[in-house]
Copies of this chain bind each other. A is one copy, B any other.
Amino acid sequence: MADDPLTRSWWGWGHVEQALPDDECAGFGALLPGLADRPRPVPAPADLVLPPVRVRPPAALADRFSDTPHDRAAHTYGKAYRDVVRALAGDLRAAPDLVARPLSEADVAAVLDWAGDAGVAVIPYGGGSSVVGGVEYRGDRPSVSLDLTALDRVLEVDPVSRAARVQAGALGPVLEEQLRPHGYTLRHFPQSFEFSTVGGWLATRAGGHYATLHTHIDDFVESLRVVTPVGVSESWRLPGSGAGPSPDRMFLGSEGTLGVITEAWLRVQDRPAHKASAAVTFTDFAAALDAVRAIAQSGLHPVNCRLLDPGEALFSGAGDGTVSVLVLGFESAGHPVDAQLKSTVDLALAHGGRVRENSGAAVESWRAAFLRMPYVRDGLARMSGVVETFETATTWDRVPDLVEAVRTEVGAAVREVCGVPGLLNCRFTHVYPDGAAPYFTVVAPGKPGAELSMWDEIKAAAIEVLHRHRATITHHHAVGRDHRPGYDRQRPDPFALALRAAKAALDPHGVLNPGVLLD
């Protein structure tokens, strides 16, 4: 945004100004023995070594392209732990040759045409917040990072149908700022909200604000406009249609492999006028899970229904480390929600929960910690910490065993790899009548220079556990390149055939985000 006084970090999460200062990083040493003595310095962009540029932009589009070291460095990786570690180490071998910033849909189509002819890989790039290698090209061809953030306008608002036509490059706050004067909000607030775009949400089936019912961005899509190498796909605005397989559902989750999403009609909402929240504590995590299941199956549809295990509650300041904390919330634009909250809290109490005094503070401290977490992650990474998350979803019948297996087996991997137990916390972010999405955080001391291989070993153990329990490789972080080992095993073979055929039909030169979803 033009009026944004903050500077985006090229190597880590979010804004440079919000990164943890060195002394705060160093302070982690007291909390987690085994970390480095002082934080690894952040390389200066001027000192970066980038591979040579192998391709020239087409003359007609030259002013849409950049090959400055800063642009190339900032578009090399997403924002996974392994991305941060590599950036801090100055490893930018995967840098794109060029960064393209289309100013119109016609520019997008022109870039794809040129790339198809020139054999250049095109990596669609929104906010660059992928944590699964979704924006990092790993092949041998020249590559272009297609940065869509200049296409960030709300083009139309339909107040009758309560929908908005939005360009895909709008970052979360840029979108909400344009909806606000109309009295609307999308209320899609992933943890990456500030640093991810509408198009990125759509392409990766992002998970958002709602713990139940409308958990993914998919649920707010009315229609999509997608530039593919063989033409523009535009679905009709339809509130519901049974005419064949949904065209939109093919592009949702396609992660830039089938086309570049340029616009969407999205269902927006009146801003909520009624809100109510509560926090309930449990001494028994299994009882807390039963409570959450009862709530998820009640048809009460809380907006917030997040369960933090004792470690996660402590980590985020919502608990003292002895109890699990369930954060509940309702909201509505039109009607009071206190009765629904009461019914929901009653269900929690019936399963052994206790209403936490000063619930509001717990909710707030969880929320603040939630948004601060990626900066803490970066600070820990600078201290040679191994710090990353993974999330999944499975049916309720498998949830307790899965959580136990992750604690046991991933915990063993952490001990084996890092030499100490470290932290292995669990929260539940989204719940369904038939299952839930557990989300795990690992924090442990790493060995400088070996952090990546250490994390890869831990993650490999995690992937094995998820697969054995038939839990998805990702509930809302997408597949990218890093999740291919799990994704390829869970995807039905005939569907892989169909997807490959669809890809070949839409992207005959195979230029779109090669290596993601498919080889």
Contact = CB atoms under 8 A, between A and B. Distances in A.
Interface of A: 158, 160-163, 204-207, 213, 215-216, 222, 226, 228, 230-247, 249-255, 258-259, 267, 269-270, 293, 297-301, 332-335, 339, 343, 393-397, 430, 432-437, 470-479, 483, 486-487, 490-495, 497-502, 504-506, 517
Nearest to A250: B245
16 contacts: A158-B395, A162-B396, A236-B490, A239-B432, A239-B436, A240-B430, A243-B253, A243-B487, A244-B499, A246-B253, A259-B494, A267-B433, A269-B433, A299-B333, A335-B343, A501-B505
B502 A498 contact: yes
Given A245-B252, A501-B504, A506-B497, A237 B470 contact: yes
A433 B238 CA distance: 11
Given A162-B297, A236-B490, A243-B486, 14 more contacts: A205-B242, A233-B492, A237-B395, A238-B471, A240-B430, A240-B432, A243-B478, A243-B479, A244-B479, A244-B499, A246-B249, A259-B494, A267-B433, A497-B505
A437 to B, nearest CB: 6
A236 B335 contact: no
B245 A161 contact: no
Contact of A470 (B231, B236, B255, B396): B236
Contacts of A494: 226, 228, 230-233, 259, 506
Which among A215, A233, A240, A478 has the greatest number of chain B C-beta atoms within 10 A?
Answer: A240
Nearest to A517: B244
Contact of A395 (B163, B234, B253, B397): B163
A162 B434 CA distance: 6
Contact of A204 (B205, B236, B242, B477): B242
A266 to B, nearest CB: 9
Given A239-B434, A243-B473, A245-B251, A299 B332 contact: yes
A479 B393 CA distance: 33
A43 B249 CA distance: 46
Which among A236, A393, A490 has the greatest number of chain B C-beta atoms within 10 A?
Answer: A236
A155 to B, nearest CB: 15
A233 B254 CA distance: 19
Which among A163, A206, A242, A430 has the greatest number of chain B C-beta atoms within 10 A?
Answer: A242
A250 B255 CA distance: 16
Contacts of A495: 233, 235, 247, 250
Contacts of A517: 244
Nearest to A293: B160
Contacts of A234: 492
A300 to B, nearest CB: 7
A393 B435 contact: no
A253 B244 contact: yes
Contacts of A472: 236, 238, 241-243
Contacts of A244: 253-255, 479, 487, 491, 499, 517
A226 to B, nearest CB: 7
Contacts of A258: 498
Nearest to A251: B245
A479 B491 CA distance: 28
A303 to B, nearest CB: 10
B253 A163 contact: no
A517 B502 CA distance: 16
A215 to B, nearest CB: 6
A295 to B, nearest CB: 10
Given A158-B397, A498-B502, A216 B239 contact: no
Contacts of A269: 433
B435 A240 contact: yes
Which among A222, A232, A259, A501 has the greatest number of chain B C-beta atoms within 10 A?
Answer: A501
Contacts of A434: 161-163, 222, 237, 239, 267
Contacts of A230: 494, 497
Contact of A238 (B161, B343, B395): B395
B255 A240 contact: no
Nearest to A253: B245
Nearest to A296: B239
Contact of A241 (B298, B393, B498, B502): B393
* The 10 A-B residue pairs with the shortest CB-CB distance in the complex, in nearest-first order: A239-B435, A239-B432, A498-B502, A501-B505, A249-B249, A205-B242, A233-B494, A501-B501, A233-B492, A241-B472
Contacts of A215: 240
